[in-house]
Structure 1
């Protein structure tokens, strides 16, 4: 995460209602952090070589660039109304939406975007732009979806991987900013193989397995309570499918935090299957945290 002075929370807008919801969420996040908010619109039309200005005889403001300026101005106004006093700027950048947001990510504190946009197919629960940005961004990505809650815990999925430790660090900072409880949820199904090609044991001690999985959670949370004494910490180790259990936990959470790729994921998956499932089905905003490249 970029923590340099002046680094902004960036929100992508396209004029849709999900994007305006993302603007409101981003404004609150920026205000909490005492950071500026940068509203960005990816303006794809120059790449398609179509006329951008108002056509001859057309009404004022009918050109594509003028319409883009209007939607960015409306988003800036929405952000200022949501968090009075927040420093908000807007920009139009030529390019496809996901590419533009990814270009902003190396210097952003966080990227916020809606779960769907104007170009999303109705059958998609989460739009392709949200998935692409969550997969490749160089900073945490917050997707506005599900219910907006100001109570309930911040839930973080923990699996013992390095990226889940980064997710824990992000989640506890969020819980502190929100004066919320941190719920660290570790799920498991079977014993973990010792290495590539190892076969899972056919017989194992269930109590020993539970003990081992609790140890994984404890190690992932080592030092958190001491470094963040203001944050109530709840640990839960549950046997079951991680995506389903995290989705269930999201129904009472105000924020869900997941690592981009966890233990047991195929190395070719830049965004793990569990993270993708949670991103598609959670009932609260979802933050995706990835390891630095």
Structure 2
């Protein structure tokens, strides 16, 4: 894709966006987003949406709501943004912060904003063990957002550790691979690339159908395909040390295990054969619920 100077300037100045709803769930996400924005010398854009548009869909107009109720919601929204700003500035004192109070539906607003954001960050609540409770806004934005969407759970977030990338071996996953290299380079850490080949449903190598290959040869082929997917980015980011792992099965469990010591886990937004209306693959959704570090879902351009 050809990029004109205006597009390049927009990408260079795009803010880190964090969506907040006033719950303590968001605090880890705010701190993570603030530190990321500060390191990259970007603005932090804190967004709180009141969801009046949802009321309009039911009642025809939110003007029928009692004025005192709508005013109270706006006042609470202002307090939510003020508290979120305080948390952000505690995490990164010199950070430039802008806030937005909107009447729109939260998910619709964040999906729209993601088109012009450096990344969008959302909070998720931890449940039993490492299981996260993903609200409808998180799931919708993760599935339909543009670029990078980061889900941060409400437990402490480590600042150290490698970046982990789930490599699915398909061209669709290239955007996630590219982003993982950039993240590892920016942080100055190792990149761990994990691929489990048994989740493939099709593919050919040297004219031979994937499943026609003997089991022993499949692993050789998958290692070669994984190396091929990474090779160009290793040339672009020679400072990034890469560890490649190829497993016969269990991509979810291998990624979840790796997340225990990682600073960030990067996955693509869909698997093979995904449709525009259902962009988030089953592995990515499961990982958002079970990973023990922030998860970045990367959407390929043009989808």
**TM-score bracket, shorter-length normalisation:** 0.7 to 0.9
Normalised by the length of structure 2, the TM-score is 0.84
Deviation at 1:191, TM superposition (A): 6.6
Deviation at 1:204, TM superposition (A): 4.4
Q: Which runs of 4+ in 1 moved over 6 A?
A: none
The structure whose residues are more often helix, as a share, is 2
Q: Which residue in the other structure is 2:4 paired with?
A: none
Partner-residue secondary structure (3-state), 2:107: helix
Q: 1:210 and 1:265, CA in 2 relative to 1: closer, same or farther beyond 3 A?
A: farther
In the alignment, does 2:30 pair up with 1:23?
Answer: yes
Deviations 1:35-75 (A, max 9, x none): 101000011247533335479xxxxxx82211110110110
Q: Which residue in the other structure is 1:39 paired with?
A: 46
**Structure 2 counterparts to residues 179-190 of structure 1, below 5 A:** 179-189=188-198
Deviations 1:145-197 (A, max 9, x none): 265112221000001112321111111111112121100111112775348xx
Q: Relative to structure 2, which stretch is displaced further, 79-88 or 43-52? A: 43-52
CA distance in 1, matches of 2:274, 2:109: 28
CA distance in 1, matches of 2:117, 2:66: 32
CA distance in 2, matches of 1:95, 1:278: 29
In the alignment, does 2:124 pair up with 1:109?
Answer: no
Deviations 1:245-281 (A, max 9, x none): 1111111111100000123657763111111111111
Contact kept in structure 2, 1:105 and 1:139, CA below 8 Å: yes
Deviation at 1:226, TM superposition (A): 2.1
CA distance in 1, matches of 2:125, 2:32: 15
Q: Relative to structure 2, which stretch is displaced further, 160-169 or 179-188? A: 160-169
Unaligned residue ranges in structure 2 (runs of 5+): 1-6, 56-61
Q: Relative to structure 2, which stretch is displaced further, 239-248 or 257-266? A: 257-266
Partner-residue secondary structure (3-state), 1:63: helix
Partner-residue secondary structure (3-state), 1:89: strand
Partner-residue secondary structure (3-state), 1:4: helix
Normalised by the length of structure 1, the TM-score is 0.87
Contact kept in structure 1, 2:165 and 2:191, CA below 8 Å: yes
CA distance in 2, matches of 1:152, 1:235: 16
Q: 1:194 and 1:167, CA in 2 relative to 1: closer, same or farther beyond 3 A?
A: closer
Partner-residue secondary structure (3-state), 2:42: coil
Q: Which residue in the other structure is 2:216 paired with?
A: 207
Partner-residue secondary structure (3-state), 2:13: coil
Deviation at 1:207, TM superposition (A): 1.9
Q: Relative to structure 2, which stretch is displaced further, 185-194 or 282-291? A: 185-194
Deviation at 1:100, TM superposition (A): 1.3
Q: Which residue in the other structure is 2:138 paired with?
A: 130
CA distance in 2, matches of 1:232, 1:37: 30
Aligned length: 279
Contact kept in structure 2, 1:257 and 1:286, CA below 8 Å: yes
Contact kept in structure 2, 1:260 and 1:272, CA below 8 Å: yes
In the alignment, does 2:231 pair up with 1:222?
Answer: yes
